[in-house]
């Protein structure tokens, strides 16, 4: 014959008072009585058996440490246990979400850093290819290209600085670009 709910609630209250006095057997009885129900509730919240098991242990540790805080005037023992279990499960869920967001953020930052490093390597290698190609073109063509692309001078400003006719600067720049493009294609093929 099953005890009446009123008797079971009183029995649970007595067990909680015994737990407050350090009675491990009373804790074992409360655990045996409610662990499966609380575990099921936490599993629905957490969707992880391992996390629900962890939180269940935390719940009963909290019951052990704070059983004296249970107040029969404010509610039934099961309600108190369920409230603790629900709060702990929600806290864990938030913690997991927070950790997941932090891990995702860290992974993105790491990927960006790695991407930046890879981009830097490619940039350095391309710079080396350009430098080698520039060293292979005639000095007049190299000079106008360096003035135009690295100092930002216009063709007229280059003509003025080099004391060369504007037509000569334009021809050297066009010839230099064509030669540079050919050399870079060749260097890039060799580089791969």
CATH of the domain at 17: 1.10.1740.10
Parent domain of 15: 5-103
CB 43 within 8 A of CB 52: yes
Q: What is the model's pLDDT at position 6? A: 46
89 and 155 share one domain: no
Contacts 24+ apart (CB under 8 A), 108-116: none
57 and 144 share one domain: no
Q: Is residue 166 part of a domain?
A: yes
Structure letter (DSSP) for residue 102: H
Residue 171 CB neighbours (<10 A)? 15
93 and 141 share one domain: no
* Sole residue written with tokens 């279990």: 85
**CA triplet 73, 75, 79: central angle to 5 degrees?**
160
90 and 176 share one domain: no
CATH number (domain holding residue 150): 1.10.10.10
Q: Is residue 19 part of a domain?
A: yes
Q: Is residue 112 part of a domain?
A: no
* Sole residue written with tokens 């190299």: 142
Residue 134 CB neighbours (<10 A)? 19
Q: Is residue 13 part of a domain?
A: yes
Mean pLDDT by 10 residues, the chain (192 residues): 47 93 93 94 90 94 94 89 93 82 69 58 70 83 84 88 91 87 74 54
Q: Is 138 helix (H, G, I), strand (E, B) or coil?
A: coil
Interatomic CA distance for residues 62 and 40, integer angstroms: 18
- What is the total count of domains within the chain? 2
CB 184 within 8 A of CB 132: no
* Sole residue written with tokens 């909680």: 16
* Sole residue written with tokens 């709910």: 5
For the question of whether the overall pTM of this predicted structure is more than 0.75, the answer is: no
* Sole residue written with tokens 């400003």: 157
CB 55 within 8 A of CB 85: yes
Return phi, psi of residue 23, to 5°: -85, 105
Q: Distances in Å between the alpha carbon of 6 and those of 110, 146, 175?
A: 59, 94, 100
Return phi, psi of residue 145, to 5°: -65, -40
């Amino acid at each position: 014959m099953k005890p009446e709910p009123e008797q079971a609630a009183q029995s649970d209250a007595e067990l909680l008072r015994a737990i407050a006095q350090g009675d491990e057997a009373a804790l074992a009885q409360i655990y045996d009585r409610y662990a499966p129900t609380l575990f099921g509730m936490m599993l629905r919240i957490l969707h992880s058996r391992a996390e629900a098991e962890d939180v269940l242990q935390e719940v009963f540790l909290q019951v052990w440490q704070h059983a004296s805080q249970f107040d029969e005037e404010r509610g039934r023992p099961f309600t108190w246990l369920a409230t603790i279990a629900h709060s702990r499960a929600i806290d864990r869920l938030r913690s997991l979400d927070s950790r997941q967001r932090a891990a995702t953020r860290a992974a993105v930052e790491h990927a960006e850093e790695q991407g930046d490093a890879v981009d830097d390597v490619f940039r350095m290698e391309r710079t080396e290819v350009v430098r080698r190609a520039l060293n292979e073109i005639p000095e007049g063509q190299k000079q106008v290209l360096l003035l135009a692309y690295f100092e930002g001078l216009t063709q007229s400003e280059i003509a003025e600085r080099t004391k060369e006719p504007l037509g000569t600067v334009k021809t050297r720049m066009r010839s230099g670009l064509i030669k540079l493009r050919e050399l870079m294609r060749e260097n890039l093929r060799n580089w791969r």
